[in-house]
Amino acid sequence: MRDPDSRAGNKLIRLPRWLTSEHPFPWLFPASAMLIVFGLYPVLYSLWLSMFKRNPATRIETFRPSWNWSKVFADDRVIDAVSVTLTYTFIALTIQLVLGLGIALLLDSDRKGFGLLRSLMILPLVVPPAVTGMMFLLMYDGSFGVISHMLYGLGLLSPSTPILAGGTSALWGVIIADVWQWTPFMVLIMLAGLRALPKDPFEAAAIDGATDMQAFFRLTLPMMSKIIALAVLIRGIDLFRIYDYIKVMTDSGPGTATETLTAYAGTIYFKNADFPYASTVALFTLILVVIIANLFIKIFKVRF
Amino acid sequence: MGSVTIQNLVKRYGGLEVLHGIDLTVEDGKFVVLLGPSGCGKSTLLRMIAGLETVSSGDIAIGEQRVNDMHPKDRNIAMVFQNYALYAHMSVRENMAFSMRLKKTAQAEVDERVNWAASILSLEPYLDRFPKELSGGQRQRVAMGRAIVRNPDVFLFDEPLSNLDAKLRVQMRKEIKELHQRLKTTTVYVTHDQIEAMTMADQVVIMRDGVIEQIGTPLDIYDNPDNLFVAQFIGSPGMNLLSGEIVQGAGGKMFQTGDVTCELPQNSAAMVGQKVLYGIRPEHLQASMQGSGLSATVTVVEPTGPEIHLYATLAGHEICAIAHQRLDWKPDDELKLNPMVDRVHLFDAETKVAIPAG
Ligand SMILES: Nc1ncnc2c1ncn2[C@@H]1O[C@H](COP(=O)(O)OP(=O)(O)OP(=O)(O)O)[C@@H](O)[C@H]1O
Ligand SMILES: [Mg+2]
């Protein structure tokens, strides 16, 4: 029998109901706090910022809610940046998807050594993107870069215009670095999907007379469609926000040939110090991503 | 054209040999059942015929053609998998039409054949459903449908009924047999259910640990098992076995165990002094409450309806007899057993091989 005093002691420290483990609050609090501090607050603050008109010379900000928003839609550099971003996203995503699926199909084997190959494959993912950018910068160097050397040898490029100096080739230069780094991520997702596919429908298909090619298009692809859609969504959103490679490798150049939306927002922020307009462009990017991603989810019926 | 000929077939997984030289001929149009305990290599053999497993050594021919290295798609076989292996992203109709789609068959013919198969298998109401919207039995029938629309040279079935409830199993058993009688397509059917084997097969192939123990018609295998394994494997309740030896009695050779002696068939090849196992099926032991015969004591009485299973002890051996009369048997009753002499099986105690009855 416990003495009544200790019960009295318990009573003193009894928690309010919303802090007990039956209540959702303690469970949701940490994650919600993170989201609020690092997600919601910046968005709302950007929104607030975007409603000011800043005079860079006098550094005076006046409350003009529609000023920056009308500027975004009239800004040719925004329109260019949208087109660069979309081009970049589309090309890089397509290459990564096709390569990723292809490599995953090759690596999907239980034969000896494939486990090692699979783990080697993901090595590029551990390199920080900025380092990747620097690495490729060196390899693209007009005088001693190994990739430039090969491209000269193949006659695809002449020493007078290094890859990152050409108006159209510069974007490709960045895409190649992105593909090198992020294709393994696609491979990883695709491999997880492929390895989880049941074996017996493929055996049934072989007996039904399907060639390997027919089995791929009629079984593998449809059975993988949900995973492919998810991979496209994740990588697509990531690619749309491309900043580090551009910043390190071309700094939006030559001219503004490789200026993506986030790169442009960065330029406005750091170079022009027009914080409200930079926030507006960043928010505009966010809105575009949300719209495109949701259209994609609707059209391809992605389920989480 | 649809025969299957297998010669000295061996399958190894790395250093592990699981089939040790299988010889088997399935004649065109026959229904052959591979029967054996779990892990004896039935599925492996079937999958090798289908081309889903490589051949380590030996030969497989379908019709006149050696198919060892032929891709499954070129063998013109149809297979029903134990776990259905349906295409989950296709409707029932598309599952069945799949093989014809690959061959770019005209739509009219596809429809006709799918509808034909659906009507045989009573699948018409489900044609537009997806596999996950079907019950196990319905999925089973879709897997069958996918096979029969094909018009193959050979049907391969791997325990196709093992996931069904008892009633559906009996029904499907009949449907498969009817289908075979109608289509007359060579069929190799794997099961570990002896009732399925007995009821469906033209020929039963009994396997154990990667070798064939006996091939024969169901009744032949039941009545004349070649060895102890087959004798024990077929029949439920199983054959009674008494170990003892052959002695010279007044009226000829006799079997003796303890102080019990039993008569042997007239021309049995067993030799006096030979250690043997004496086998008699429960239904060949006539049980009565009095009269002459071997004396046993009833231990358990199991009425099944058509018959009564009597378990008893005879000279220290557990023994089972089947009685058809509705007598009032009770545990500890005295029982008189009369084995039907011409139904006695003798096996050499060492080699476990049957000793010919003469
Ligand atoms: N991939 C494999 N690697 C190694 N051993 C295998 C492999 N597949 C099957 N075996 C072995 O081969 C033997 C035969 O297997 P199989 O699947 O043919 O048995 P089965 O007669 O069909 O049994 P069940 O009635 O349980 O289906 C088993 O002992 C099994 O362990
Ligand atoms: Mg099996």
Chain A residue numbers with beta carbons less than 8 Å from the beta carbon of B150 are: 208
Helix axes A275-300, A41-49, angle to 10 degrees: 130
Q: Which residue of B has its CA nearest to A211?
A: B73
Distance between CA B224 and CA A238 in Å, rounded? 74
Strand B294-303, strand B308-314: pairing: antiparallel
Tokens 């231990």 label which residue? Answer: B299
State chain A's mean pLDDT as an integer: 88
Mutate to test the interface with A, among B13, B71, B73 (most CBs of A within 10 A): B73
What b/e string do you get for B57-84 counting C-beta neighbours within 10 Å, with b at 16 or more?
ebebebbeeebeeeebbebbbbbbbbeb
Domain's final residue, options B196, B226, B256: B226
Distance between CA B283 and CA B285 in Å, rounded? 5
Q: Are residues B164 and B54 in the same domain?
A: yes
Q: Which of A3-17, B69-83, B310-324, B337-351 has the lowest mean pLDDT?
A: A3-17
Q: Which residue of B has its CA nearest to A199?
A: B85
| Rounded mean pLDDT, B55-70 | 94
Answer yes or no: do B83 and A205 touch at CB < 8 A: no
Is residue B250 in some structural domain?
yes
| Residue A228: Cβ-neighbour burial (10 angstroms; 0-12, 13-18, 19+) | buried
Is residue B232 in some structural domain?
no
Answer yes or no: do A208 and B52 touch at CB < 8 A: no
Interchain CB contacts (distance < 8 Å): A and B: 58
Fill in the amino acid letter for A115. Answer: G
ipTM of the complex: 0.81
Is the shortest distance between the CB of B13 and ligand 1 below 6 Å?
yes
Q: Which residue of A has its CA nearest to B86?
A: A201
Is the shortest distance between the CB of B181 and ligand 1 below 6 Å?
no
pLDDT at residue A1, rounded to an integer: 47
Q: Above 50 in pLDDT, residue B118?
A: yes
Q: Which residue in the set B85, B88, B102 is minimally distant from A209, CB to CB?
A: B102
Q: Are residues B199 and B272 in the same domain?
A: no
CB neighbourhood size of B110 (10 A): 21
CB neighbourhood size of B286 (10 A): 16
Is the shortest distance between the CB of B16 and ligand 1 below 6 Å?
yes
Distance between CA A54 and CA A63 in Å, rounded? 9
Strands (E), B224-274: 240-249, 252-257, 260-263
Tokens 């007078």 label which residue? Answer: A160
Is residue B338 in some structural domain?
yes
Residue A192 · residue A102 · CB < 8 Å: no
- Sign of dihedral through CA atoms B152, B154, B156, B161? positive
DSSP letter, residue B133: G
Distance between CA B160 and CA B189 in Å, rounded? 8
Q: Of the candidates B19, B131, B42, which has an alpha carbon nearest to the alpha carbon of residue B85?
A: B131
- Element containing residue B348 per DSSP (H, E): strand B345-348
Q: Of the candidates B348, B237, B329, which has an alpha carbon nearest to the alpha carbon of residue B288?
A: B329
Is the shortest distance between the CB of B38 and ligand 1 below 6 Å?
yes
Chain A residue numbers with beta carbons less than 8 Å from the beta carbon of B146 are: 204, 208
Q: Is the pLDDT higher at B311 or at A61?
A: B311
Contact partners, residue A154, CB within 8 Å, separation at least 6: none
Name the β-bridge partners of B157. Answer: B80, B189
- Report the share of chain B in percent with pLDDT over 70: 99
Chain B residue numbers with beta carbons less than 8 Å from the beta carbon of A204 are: 79, 81, 85-87, 146
Omega into A201 within 30° of 0, i.e. cis? no
pLDDT at residue B21, rounded to an integer: 93
Q: Which residue in the set B50, B78, B85 is minimally distant from A201, CB to CB?
A: B85
Can you spell out the DSSP letters for B273-305? T-EEEEEE-GGGEEEESSSSSEEEEEEEEEE-S
For residue B200, the domain's CATH number is 3.40.50.300
Fill in the amino acid letter for B274. Answer: Q
pLDDT at residue A166, rounded to an integer: 81
Q: Are residues B252 and B343 in the same domain?
A: yes
- DSSP-derived 3-state class of residue B156: strand
Rounded to the nearest angstrom, the distance between the alpha carbon of A160 and the centre of ligand 1 is 66
Contact partners, residue B25, CB within 8 Å, separation at least 6: B3, B4, B5, B6
Is residue B22 in some structural domain?
yes
Token code pair at residue A58: 């006098």
Rounded to the nearest angstrom, the distance between the alpha carbon of B191 and the centre of ligand 2 is 8
Q: Of the candidates B183, B227, B223, B224, which has an alpha carbon nearest to the alpha carbon of residue B207?
A: B227
Answer yes or no: do B73 and A206 touch at CB < 8 A: yes
Angle at B273 between CA B269 and CA B276, to 5 degrees: 65
Q: Are residues B241 and B221 in the same domain?
A: no
All domains of chain A in start order, with CATH: 1-42 (no CATH), 67-299 (1.10.3720.10)
Q: State the nearest Cα–Cα gap between A211 and chain B, in angstroms.
A: 7
**By the CB < 8 Å criterion, does B242 face chain A?**
no
pLDDT at residue A57, rounded to an integer: 79
Q: State the nearest Cα–Cα gap between A188 and chain B, in angstroms.
A: 24
pLDDT at residue B208, rounded to an integer: 95
Domain's final residue, options B226, B247, B263: B226
Answer yes or no: do B85 and A204 touch at CB < 8 A: yes
Domain's final residue, options B191, B226, B261: B226
pLDDT at residue B122, rounded to an integer: 85
CB neighbourhood size of B258 (10 A): 11
Answer yes or no: do B73 and A210 touch at CB < 8 A: yes
Token code pair at residue A10: 């318990």
- DSSP-derived 3-state class of residue B72: helix
Is residue B114 in some structural domain?
yes
| Residue B221: Cβ-neighbour burial (10 angstroms; 0-12, 13-18, 19+) | buried
Ligand (nearest to CA of B192) = 1
Answer yes or no: do B88 and A200 touch at CB < 8 A: no
Q: Of the candidates A194, A192, A182, which has an alpha carbon nearest to the alpha carbon of residue A122?
A: A182
Answer yes or no: do A201 and B86 touch at CB < 8 A: yes
Q: Above 80 in pLDDT, residue B297?
A: yes
Q: Are residues B115 and B251 in the same domain?
A: no
Residue B162 · residue B82 · CB < 8 Å: yes
Q: Are residues B165 and B91 in the same domain?
A: yes
Instruction: Report, in this order, helix, strand and coil percent for chain A, each rounded to 5.
Output: 75, 5, 25
Domain count, chain B: 2
Token code pair at residue B103: 């061959």
Q: Are residues B180 and B244 in the same domain?
A: no
Is residue B186 in some structural domain?
yes
Is residue B231 in some structural domain?
no
Token code pair at residue A142: 């007009």
Residues in chain A: 304
The whole domain housing B216 covers 4-226
Q: Of the candidates A146, A129, A131, A140, which has an alpha carbon nearest to the alpha carbon of residue A170?
A: A140
Q: Are residues B100 and B202 in the same domain?
A: yes
Angle at B97 between CA B114 and CA B140, to 5 degrees: 75
Token code pair at residue B116: 């034909």
pLDDT at residue B143, rounded to an integer: 92
Q: What are phi and psi of B242, to 5 degrees?
A: -120, 130
What b/e string do you get for A58-75 counting C-beta neighbours within 10 Å, with b at 16 or more?
eeeeeeeeebbbebeeeb
- Digitized pLDDT (tens) for each residue of chain A, 304 residues in all: 445 554 545 556 677 887 777 788 888 999 999 999 999 999 999 999 998 888 877 888 888 888 889 988 988 999 999 999 999 999 999 999 999 999 999 999 888 889 899 889 889 999 999 999 999 999 998 888 888 888 888 888 777 778 888 888 899 999 999 999 999 999 999 999 999 999 999 999 999 999 999 999 999 999 999 899 999 999 999 999 999 999 999 988 788 899 999 999 999 999 888 889 999 999 999 999 999 999 999 988 777 6
Q: Are residues B206 and B90 in the same domain?
A: yes
Residue nearest atom 26 of ligand 1, based on CA coordinates: B38
**By the CB < 8 Å criterion, does B77 face chain A?**
yes
Answer yes or no: do A207 and B88 touch at CB < 8 A: no
For residue B320, the domain's CATH number is 2.40.50.140
Q: Are residues B219 and B242 in the same domain?
A: no
Answer yes or no: do B89 and A222 touch at CB < 8 A: yes
Residue nearest atom 3 of ligand 1, based on CA coordinates: B13
Q: Above 50 in pLDDT, residue B121?
A: yes
Mutate to test the interface with B, among A110, A112, A202, A207 (most CBs of B within 10 A): A207
Q: Which residue in the set A203, A214, A223 is minimally distant from B85, CB to CB?
A: A203
Omega into B237 within 30° of 0, i.e. cis? yes
Token code pair at residue B55: 């051949």
Is the shortest distance between the CB of B176 and ligand 1 below 6 Å?
no
Residue nearest atom 24 of ligand 1, based on CA coordinates: B38
Q: Are residues B40 and B64 in the same domain?
A: yes
Q: Are residues B204 and B256 in the same domain?
A: no
Q: Of the candidates B195, B192, B180, B183, which has an alpha carbon nearest to the alpha carbon of residue B235?
A: B195
Residue B42 · residue B29 · CB < 8 Å: no
